[in-house]
Amino acid sequence: MDPRSARDVLRLVAESFSGFGEAGTGVSDPLGWPGYPEKQRELDMPESVLCGQGRVRGIDCALIAFDFRYFGGSLGSRTGDLLVRAFDEAVRRRLPVVSLVASGGSRMQEGMLALLQMQRIAGAAARLRAAELPHVTVLRDPVAGGAWASLASSADVVFAVPDATVCFAGARVRGGSDDTEAFTSNGKLALGQVHRLVELEEVGATLAALLPLLKPTSAEAPDVPDALGHADLPESGAEAVRRARAAERPRADAYLDDYFDNRLPLSSADPGMLCGFGSRHGNAIAYAAQAGTANSPAGFRAAARLVRLADRLRLPILTLVDTPGAAHDAQAERDGIGPAIAELFTAVADASVPITTLVIGEGGSGGALALTSHTRVWITPDAYFSVIAPESANAILKREPAELGATIDQLRLRPQDLLELGVVHGIAQRSGA
């Protein structure tokens, strides 16, 4: 198997494939480039992409596969024709798009006519989004230039093979760099620009796990997860805070594993923000869950992207709240923590699909509220929700440390207090309780 070959990769990923139509016979030479027509005739393929309808583990989809052997999988004017047609056929046939990309960028021999294909691809991808259909891309090796900055980066879910070159400017353009990791799929994963690393041999199975979770099966709000910790309510505010901060308290991973029959996590570049898609009783649900740490701007942006994608695909959303508050150090400020939180507030406010929220631990200030539903909020007996961390509230009020307990009680942050105040709509119970 040649990983550069479109046909070989399609055989590996899909059990069937039928093309939408080839690029036609003859050569394309809009600039009269010396030797370009002759080189095209030497290659035993019509263009740098194959596009058609295929089946991946029994799931129908529109498949786009780049062939790196044809001018480095570059984008030319005929490439653009084929890609636009593939997206439009996907809309007409109501199919998700899967693109298997290996490309060096725009084709030099076609100049600006090649570069303009980025606009055409963006337009075709926008029509797919408007039709509420998903685009999943798989970055092979390499992916650079126009293919990365238009087709691949605009996908809803981005997979990549490990250690692939993924960058906007190739080495010949950018020159040397000490930070080689930044130009790899592994580096892009750490930055949140890739959602998951997948070996090429595992792509078919991973797509088969993901694609059903991107198709809405119910318009109903997700049901409330069971509480996994204490069944009784805390007697004091201080006890509520102690429970929420206890190391042994069940965390987001435990709740997600208990709730979903199966799920596919996606990296968010913030280990404290867990994002992905799951299935519960046959219903596809998107989720964003805080894992008990102070979330970074990257984490809030990942959650906002997840909410917007779920809303566009008409998928209901489950959110789990558990954070002492947003990160507030100098790096968080430089990275735009305020705008990132605002982006998540806006995404939740704009969402027209139902969102169910369960507060499972610390509900610290705006960093917690940003992930919270406006209409369906529950809390476990092991959790609290507060305008700010109690210690910070005590400091703002210029009170002595000995007065912290009184401040906590005055904040009325216990689950039963929040229910009485109308902040939450119910207190989750343990299964069988």
Domain spans, the chain: 6-214, 237-427
pLDDT at residue 310 in the model: 97
Mean pLDDT score across all residues of the chain: 93
For residue range 140-170, what is the model confidence (pLDDT) as tens digits?
999 998 899 999 999 999 999 999 999 886 6
Classified as helix, coil or strand, 379 is strand
Contact call for residues 35 and 43 (beta carbons, < 8 A): no
* CATH topology match: 6-214 vs 237-427: yes
Beta-carbon neighbour count of residue 390 at 10 Å?
Answer: 23
Question: Rounded CA gap, 377 and 329, in Å?
Answer: 29
Model pTM score: 0.92
Residue at 120: amino acid letter? R
Which residues have C-beta within 8 Å of that of residue 165, sequence separation ≥ 6?
A: 141, 142, 143, 144, 183, 184, 185
Q: 226 is written with which tokens?
A: 């069971």
pLDDT at residue 178 in the model: 61
Q: 433 is written with which tokens?
A: 């309780």
Confidence of residue 394 (pLDDT cuts 50, 70, 90): confident
The percent of residues above 90 in pLDDT, for the chain, comes to 80
Confidence of residue 23 (pLDDT cuts 50, 70, 90): low
Residue at 389: amino acid letter? A
Q: Which fold has domain 6-214?
A: 2-enoyl-CoA Hydratase; Chain A, domain 1 (3.90.226)
Indicate the range of 27-31, 171-175, 413-417 predicted with least confidence.
171-175
pLDDT at 282 over 90: yes
- Residue 152 per-residue DSSP state: I
For residue range 341-381, what is the model confidence (pLDDT) as tens digits?
999 999 999 999 999 999 999 998 899 999 999 999 999 99
pLDDT at residue 172 in the model: 59
pLDDT at residue 76 in the model: 94
Average pLDDT over residues 44-58: 92
pLDDT at 21 over 80: no
Confidence of residue 123 (pLDDT cuts 50, 70, 90): very high
Could you tell me which CATH number the domain at 237-427 has? 3.90.226.10
Average pLDDT over residues 199-216: 96
Which residue would you say has higher pLDDT here, 169 or 62? 62
Of 100, 32, 110, give the one whose Cα is nearest residue 78. 110
pLDDT at residue 268 in the model: 87
